C-alpha cells in the first residue's frame, strides 16, 4: 500500500540526517554558532548544542585566537548534557588527545618531533603540551647542548640548562606513559642516524669544523656532525696552556684535526693545524746561547721562562744561584732574566737553561719532575 505507515517511517528515517550521540572522552565535530574569549557554542548535527567554556577553550595551538562563527572544529566530550541542556566539550582535551596521538605515532614509528622546553631542573629540561608533561634528561641531550662543567657542579649545570629554555629541540620519544600524562624525550637519539653516518666517514687526519660544546680544566669539547670530540689541553696550543677557556667559549666555531678514533672516543687537536714552532727552535735555540725572557711560573723544582709566544724553557733549581735576586727564594713571575741554554731536546719539546751564565758545560742530570712539568 502506498500509505503503509511502516514504509513511510523507513523512508522518513532514511531521508533524515544521521543521529549523533556524544560519548564522553571521544572527539566530536561541530560548527561555531557563538563565540567570546571564554565561551564557545557549537552546533552538532542540528540537534545538539555544545558548550566550551573556561580553561577548556585554551589549547596549545591557541585555536580560539583565529576562530570565527561558521568554522568547523573538533572538541572532546566531557559531559553528554549539563543542567542547561548543553553537551560540555573541551578544546584543551581535544588538543591533548591529538598531541598524545602524535607522540604515540612518533614513538611507534621512531619519528622525530619538535618540542620547546619551558623549564629546567638539575636533571634536565621540562616541557608541557596540553597538560602532557615531557622531560629531556641531561644524559639525552646532544653534545652541543650537554652542560659540561668542572666538577659536575649542579648549580652551574642548572645555569647552562636554563639558557636552553625556549629553544626548539628535535627529539625522539623514548618513553611514554599516557595514564600518568608523561613522556621521556631524547635529543641524542634524534641524531643517532646522523652520528652513525658521520662515524663511518670519520678518519684520522681529517679536518672538521664544529662548535665548542664545553670547556673544562683538561680541555675543550667540540661538536660536529652529531659527534663530539675532545681537544686535550696538551693539544690546544704548542705553548703552555694554563686555562683552556683562554682559547674559546661554548658556541664558538672552530676547525680541528682528528688525531684519534677509538670506538666512540674521538681525539682532536687544534695546535696541529698550525706550524710546529719547535721546528724553528732547532735553528734558533742552540746550546750555549744566552737568551732573555720573562719568568712565567715558579715551581718548587724550578722556574719556567718564556722564550717566545709558544716556547718556554725550564731553569732547574740546581741551575740557580743560591743567593741574590736570582736565587730560588727571590725569583717571581713577571721577572725578566738572562739565561744560558744548556740542553735542547726537540723530540720531547724541552729546553733546559741555567742562570749561571759562566757555566759552559750542559747539565748532565735531569730531574724526573722536569720531564713531566716542562711546557710543550
| Full DSSP string of 70-86 | T-EEEEEEEES--TTSP
In a domain, 67, yes or no: yes
* Cα separations in angstroms, 50 against 36, 46, 82, 248: 14, 11, 10, 60
Confidence category of residue 222, pLDDT binned at 50, 70, 90: very high
Strands annotated E in 187-263: 207-216, 219-224, 227-232, 253-262
% of residues, the chain, pLDDT over 90? 41
Instruction: Tell me: do 218 and 162 sit in the same domain.
Output: no
The rounded mean pLDDT for the chain is 85
Q: Binning pLDDT at 50, 70 and 90, where does residue 268 land? A: very high
Residues 282 and 354 in one domain: yes
Q: Which domain holds residue 225?
A: 203-273
pLDDT at 254 over 70: yes
Query: Tens digits of per-residue pLDDT, 279-313?
Result: 777 778 888 889 898 998 888 888 999 888 778 88
Is 99 a member of any domain?
Answer: no
**Overall pTM surpassing 0.85 (yes/no):** no
Q: What is the pLDDT of residue 369?
A: 47
CA 56 to chain centre: 36
Q: Can you give the CATH number for the domain in which 310 is found?
A: 2.40.50.140
Please give the pLDDT value at position 194.
Answer: 86
Same domain membership, residue 283 and residue 259: no
Flag whether pLDDT at 225 surpasses 70: yes
* Residue where one domain finishes, among candidates 273, 292, 308: 273
- In terms of domains, do 224 and 309 share one? no
Most distant pair of Cα atoms in the chain: their distance? 137
Residues 211 and 165 in one domain: no
Residue 226: per-residue pLDDT: 84
| pLDDT for res 364 | 43
Is 357 found in the same domain as 321? yes
pLDDT band for position 132 (cuts 50, 70, 90):
confident
Mean pLDDT of 194-221: 91
247 within some domain: yes
Domain total of the chain: 4
Interatomic CA distance for residues 191 and 189, integer angstroms:
5
Does a structural domain hold residue 302?
yes
Answer whether residue 1 shows pLDDT above 50.
Answer: no
Residues 320 and 342 in one domain: yes
Nearest to 230 by CA among 241, 222, 238: 222
Last residue of a domain, one of 244, 273, 302: 273
* Residue 189 neighbours by CB distance under 10 Å: 18
What is the per-residue pLDDT across 335-349, written as a single tens digit (0 to 9) for each?
999 999 999 887 778
pLDDT for the residue numbered 161: 94
Q: Is the pLDDT of residue 35 over 70?
A: yes
Domain contains 10: no
According to the model, what pLDDT value does residue 264 have?
A: 81
Check pLDDT > 90 for residue 61. no
Over range 141-168, report the average pLDDT: 88
Residues 352 and 284 in one domain: yes
Does 285 lie in the same domain as 262?
A: no
Do 265 and 284 belong to one domain?
Answer: no
Asked if residue 298 and residue 210 are part of one domain, the reply reads no
**What is the Cα Rg of the chain in Å?**
36
Statement: residue 320 has pLDDT above 60 = yes
Q: Say how far apart CA 33 and CA 42 lie, in whole Å.
A: 5
pLDDT of residue 19: 59
Rounded Cα distance between 139 and 187, Å, is: 9
Which CA distances in Å does 147 have to 14, 46, 135, 331?
66, 57, 16, 41
pLDDT average, residue stretch 118-144:
91
Residue 133 resides in a domain: yes
Of 271, 141, 268, which Cα lies nearest the Cα of 202? 268
Instruction: Scan for cell 714552532, then name that residue.
Output: 277
Residues 78 and 134 occupy one common structural domain? no
Domain end position, chosen among 143, 158, 190: 190
Question: Is residue 9 a part of any domain in this protein?
Answer: no
Does any domain span residue 101?
Answer: no
Amino acid at each position: 500500500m502506498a500509505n503503509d505507515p511502516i514504509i513511510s517511517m523507513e523512508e522518513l528515517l532514511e531521508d533524515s540526517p544521521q543521529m549523533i550521540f556524544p560519548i564522553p572522552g571521544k572527539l566530536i565535530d561541530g560548527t561555531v554558532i557563538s563565540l567570546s574569549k571564554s565561551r564557545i557554542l557549537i552546533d552538532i548535527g542540528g540537534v545538539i548544542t555544545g558548550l566550551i567554556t573556561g580553561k577548556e577553550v585554551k589549547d596549545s595551538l591557541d585555536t580560539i585566537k583565529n576562530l570565527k562563527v561558521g568554522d568547523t572544529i573538533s572538541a572532546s566530550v566531557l559531559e553528554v548534557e549539563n543542567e542547561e541542556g548543553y553537551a560540555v566539550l573541551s578544546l584543551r582535551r581535544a588538543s591533548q588527545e591529538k598531541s598524545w596521538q602524535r607522540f604515540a605515532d612518533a614513538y611507534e614509528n621512531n619519528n622525530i618531533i619538535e618540542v620547546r622546553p619551558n623549564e629546567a631542573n638539575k636533571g634536565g629540561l621540562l616541557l608541557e603540551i596540553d597538560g602532557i608533561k615531557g622531560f629531556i634528561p641531561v644524559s639525552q641531550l646532544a653534545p652541543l647542548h650537554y652542560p659540561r662543567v668542572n666538577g659536575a657542579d649542579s648549580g652551574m649545570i642548572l645555569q647552562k640548562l636554563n639558557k636552553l629554555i625556549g629553544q626548539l629541540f628535535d627529539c625522539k620519544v623514548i618513553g611514554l606513559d599516557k595514564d600518568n600524562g608523561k613522556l621521556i624525550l631524547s635529543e641524542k637519539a634524534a641524531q643517532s642516524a646522523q652520528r652513525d653516518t658521520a662515524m663511518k666517514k670519520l678518519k684520522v687526519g681529517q679536518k672538521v669544523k664544529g662548535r665548542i660544546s664545553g670547556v673544562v680544566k683538561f680541555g675543550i669539547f667540540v661538536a660536529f656532525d652529531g659527534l663530539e670530540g675532545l681537544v686535550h689541553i696538551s693539544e690546544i696550543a704548542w705553548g703552555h696552556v694554563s686555562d683552556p677557556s683562554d682559547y674559546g667559549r661554548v658556541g664558538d666555531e672552530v676547525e680541528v684535526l682528528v688525531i684519534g678514533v677509538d670506538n666512540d672516543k674521538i681525539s682532536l687537536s687544534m695546535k696541529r693545524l698550525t706550524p710546529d714552532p719547535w721546528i724553528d727552535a732547532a735553528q734558533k735555540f742552540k746550546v750555549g746561547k744566552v737568551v732573555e725572557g720573562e719568568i712565567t711560573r715558579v715551581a718548587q723544582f724550578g722556574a719556567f721562562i718564556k722564550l717566545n709566544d709558544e716556547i718556554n724553557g725550564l731553569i732547574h733549581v740546581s741551575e740557580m744561584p743560591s743567593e741574590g735576586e736570582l736565587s730560588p727564594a727571590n725569583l717571581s713571575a713577571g721577572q725578566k732574566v738572562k739565561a744560558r741554554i744548556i740542553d735542547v731536546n726537540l723530540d720531547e719539546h724541552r729546553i733546559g737553561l741555567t742562570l749561571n751564565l759562566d757555566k759552559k758545560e750542559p747539565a748532565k742530570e735531569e730531574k724526573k719532575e722536569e720531564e713531566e712539568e716542562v711546557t710543550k
